[in-house]
């Protein structure tokens, strides 16, 4: 079924695009752009609605118990910190975690000897980081000079962005020439997403404004100026346990895991 453009426009610039309904039941407000392949909500939450979502998520008790529904948890922070240090970092390089939550990944990177900073939208999460972790997070990219960071990470963040293309262009600006952007996001073509469709848990999260597959993520990263994109097949496992490790690695090998991970480069 082809639909008229709704309240939101696809962030791609093509004039040939048409929108089709993503799901027949469940989260039926998602539309898929036939040009770039991205799925997005027809109506985004307002700024005040998003602020309330994040305010409820980032109360101290939820952060302490790992129940914010925003952050991936301590094990995932350790896994990603080790991946960044091993694969994307060199001595003296600066790392930015964009969408840093309460600062768990930044804290772990610093513990591993990495010069790391973070940016976080939620004032409650920033306050927790300042009071409990002992360092401050920035609130937006306007505070960052051009070409400043060698690596930027966006762990489960790109699907939240209200200004997708504008933010990606800004991130391209702050990354140094030949620097890298690491993006992870729920995989719209993962096994669970294919089975559950509009009832998929990632689609049901109202703060998830976009749902990506590999071609649509590649399209929008390249549109923002990134190049030499590489899909990370065996990305960090986010939960402990041998059974989890085996299951995740199998799904990754089959290209149907729940997480899509990509490394993109900025031109020299």
Q: Given phi > 0 = left and psi -120 to 50 = alpha, else beta, which region is 226?
A: beta
Question: pLDDT tens digit string along 144-157?
Answer: 999 999 999 999 99
Copy the structure tokens of residue 33: 């752009």
Non-local CB neighbours of 64 within 8 Å, separated by 6+ positions: none
Question: pLDDT tens digit string along 193-232?
Answer: 999 999 999 999 988 999 999 999 999 999 999 999 999 9
> At 15, is the pLDDT very low, low, confident or very high (cuts 50, 70, 90)?
low
**Partner residues linked to 183 by β-bridges:** 154, 262
Given a contact cutoff of 8 angstroms between Cβ atoms, the answer to whether 222 and 164 are in contact is no
pLDDT number for residue 209: 94
Which letter does DSSP use for residue 142 in this model? G
Mean model confidence pLDDT for the chain: 90
% of the chain at pLDDT higher than 70: 91
pLDDT number for residue 62: 60
Whether 1 has a pLDDT exceeding 50, the answer reads: no
pTM given for the model: 0.90
pLDDT number for residue 6: 40
Question: pLDDT tens digit string along 126-135?
Answer: 999 999 999 9
More confident residue, 13 or 157: 157
Helix or strand holding residue 19 (H, E): strand 19-21
Copy the structure tokens of residue 219: 């399209």
Coil vs helix vs strand at 13: coil
Question: pLDDT tens digit string along 60-81?
Answer: 666 655 555 556 678 999 999 9
> At 3, is the pLDDT very low, low, confident or very high (cuts 50, 70, 90)?
very low
* DSSP secondary structure, 172-231, as one string: HHHEEEEEEEEEEEEBTTSHHHHHHGGG-HHHH-TT--EEB-HHHHHHHHHHTT-EEEEE
% of the chain at pLDDT higher than 90: 73
């Amino acid at each position: 079924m082809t639909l008229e453009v709704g309240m939101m426009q696809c962030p791609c610039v093509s004039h040939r695009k048409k929108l089709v309904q993503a799901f027949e039941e469940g989260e039926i407000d998602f539309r898929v752009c036939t040009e770039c392949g991205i799925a997005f909500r027809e109506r985004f939450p307002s700024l005040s609605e998003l602020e309330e979502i994040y305010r409820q998520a980032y109360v101290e008790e939820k952060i302490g118990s790992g129940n914010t529904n925003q952050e991936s948890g301590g094990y995932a922070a350790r896994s990603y910190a080790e991946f960044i240090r091993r694969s994307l970092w060199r001595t003296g390089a600066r790392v930015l975690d964009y969408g840093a939550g309460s600062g768990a990944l930044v804290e772990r990177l610093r513990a591993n000897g990495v010069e790391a900073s973070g940016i976080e939208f939620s004032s409650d999460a920033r306050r927790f980081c300042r009071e409990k972790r002992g360092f401050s997070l920035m609130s937006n990219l306007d505070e960052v000079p051009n070409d400043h960071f060698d690596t930027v990470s966006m762990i489960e963040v790109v699907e939240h962005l209200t200004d997708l293309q504008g933010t990606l262009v800004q991130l391209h600006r702050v990354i140094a020439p030949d620097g890298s952007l690491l993006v992870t996001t729920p995989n719209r073509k993962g096994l669970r997403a294919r089975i559950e469709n509009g009832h998929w848990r990632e689609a049901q999260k109202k703060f998830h404004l976009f749902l990506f597959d590999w071609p649509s993520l590649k399209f929008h990263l390249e549109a923002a100026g990134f190049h030499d994109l590489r899909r990370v097949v065996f990305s960090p496992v986010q939960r402990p346990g041998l059974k989890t490790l085996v299951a995740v690695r199998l799904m990754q090998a089959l290209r149907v895991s729940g997480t899509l991970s990509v490394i993109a480069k900025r031109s020299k």
